[in-house]
Structure 1
């Protein structure tokens, strides 16, 4: 991937690193479908306003509508609800570790259903190394509850599977403006979730949420949705569908480093080891360093082979 893609993914990982915290705050007071609907609806309204202001056209033909609806289901409506519901019983640390399995699903699905994005040993090894790094970073405590709330954990893994298929479907959006794609899929997601929220959660019967819950929903809508998806689809255009899924490996270190820099939280040895392992995995996936080393070795070996001949 080009360096600009890595830079944008770093920013995206910092934004999405806060999502699990906001989910944990708001899900105590507001049902999952309602949380996700307002997150998506507000984010869609923001992006539609930006698109109108910048005179960016959002496709409205039948094919575009189907593309947006499927993407909205796979990338927002289903996985967001699964993750928020799962976090009713699954802790933030374990949820982020399970979320880090997303690239595995992405690599497998791309390998099975595409001809130009096959799995390579470097990519598979890098993803596995990255997941190990996430587990080390989050620590044994985060894994302590593994298996205790199997339904919630399966919900988080189901969300990752959805993201893998969303990455495959997102290949249809290459070449389109990121704001148009993000606004279209979020609008479709909101339309899908509206009847579900009205039928299942009946929000008019719920107590008024606290200011902390309202603030969390607004942060989820503005930063974790509107801004994040513009960046996401920009990376998709630059680096491709499978590579953009690697951001899930970068979320835990971003969240922990953010806590150390902003909140003064202590960095433990396990955090540093985890960062090293994740970085090694991303370097293996990128392949640039390995190719440079191979070229260098071939260059130094050439005189020896000539002399041997």
Structure 2
């Protein structure tokens, strides 16, 4: 992966994207006080889908007609939204928002490993292998492997969040294989359509009819994570990707966790164990080595 030099505008939008996604963990946790995890995800995908299709119509983009493409949207919605959103929302019922955001950063680690398995041009170079090993070490420290031996709800919640990151990684593989030729806005809207088709009936069956008669705090939380942190963030993501390049977006992964930790401490009174911070530091080092940033600094 290569990095572009970042303009002040690119830095500002990268920071904004990190702030938006960092805040999503807090808003999801607030919504979970009144709605179930599957219902929270159904709200997230449905409202974000509507907003993105409005944007697509306003932009005049042509819709794909191939049934194969719409089938790919359904699979993408399952892998990139339905499974990870549900696992992480359920996990947040039992672990802190800050810890959820730290474990979420492992997405990049799993992504590199799976890319090396499925694509010949994504082989594990030395720096990637070192970065992956440090990433897994950081996750192990953050979780505390001894805690997993207890196998209680907290341990299961952490495993669920990690399962979500693995699903994200598989989604990246699927997107590269099936959706590369599509405009990213169409791909995002189609993906959210697929996940909505899955999540609305799933939430209805598992948690009962979906109601809009909710407390104001819940409505505001859903509006934030569905409209701003999903639909809006997807559109901003592609702007930042064009300006900053994929390598620099790794910085976004590192910025999200501190924001989520701070918001969790201020608004929810959360306090993480020292091992969580140490684990994130090791994981962050692994991510920086993974994209070659530290090696380039050393060579300079």
TM-score interval, normalised by the smaller of the two chains: 0.7 to 0.9
Matched, 1:196 2:197: no
Compute the displacement of 1:284 (Å): 2.2
Q: Give the structure-2-normalised TM-score.
A: 0.78
Match of 1:71 among 49, 71, 76: 76
Shift of 1:287: 2.0
Partner of 1:2: 3
CA distance in 1, matches of 2:190, 2:212: 32
Corresponding position of 2:255: 250
For 1:229, the equivalent position in structure 2 comes to 234
User: Residue 187 of structure 2 aligns with which residue?
Assistant: 181
Q: Does 1:126 align with 2:101?
A: no
The gaps in structure 1 that reach 5 residues or longer are 261-268, 297-309
Query: Does residue 210 of the first structure (1) align with residue 215 of the second (2)?
Result: yes
CA contact (8 A) 1:14 1:258 kept: no
- Higher RCO (CA-CA < 8 Å; seq separation 6+): 2
Q: Which moved more, 1:171-180 or 1:68-77?
A: 171-180
Render the CA deviation track for 1:154-180: whole Å, top value 9, x for unaligned: 211111110110111111322432211
Q: Over the residues paired in the alignment, what is the CA RMSD in angstroms?
A: 3.9
Q: Are the equivalent residues in 2 in contact too, given 1:100–1:131 (CA < 8 A)? A: no
**Number of corresponding residues:** 287
Q: Give 1:64 deviation, angstroms.
A: 1.0
Tell me how far apart the structure 1 counterparts of residues 80 and 248 of structure 2 sit (CA, whole Å): 16
Q: Does 1:103 align with 2:101?
A: no
User: For 1:52 and 1:169, how far apart are their aligned partners in 2?
Assistant: 25
Q: Is the 8 A contact 1:82 1:158 kept in 2?
A: yes
Give the corresponding residue for 2:90: 85
2-side partners of 1:124 and 1:134: how far apart? 15
Selected match of 1:168 from 173, 181, 200: 173
Deviation at 1:201, TM superposition (A): 1.8
Q: CA deviation at 1:86?
A: 1.4
- Contact residue 40 and residue 221 of structure 1 kept, 8 A: yes
Relative to structure 1, is the Cα distance of residues 20 and 291 closer, same or farther in structure 2, using a 3 angstrom cutoff? closer
Matched residue of 1:18: which SS? helix
What stretches of structure 2 of length at least 5 have no aligned partner? 266-273
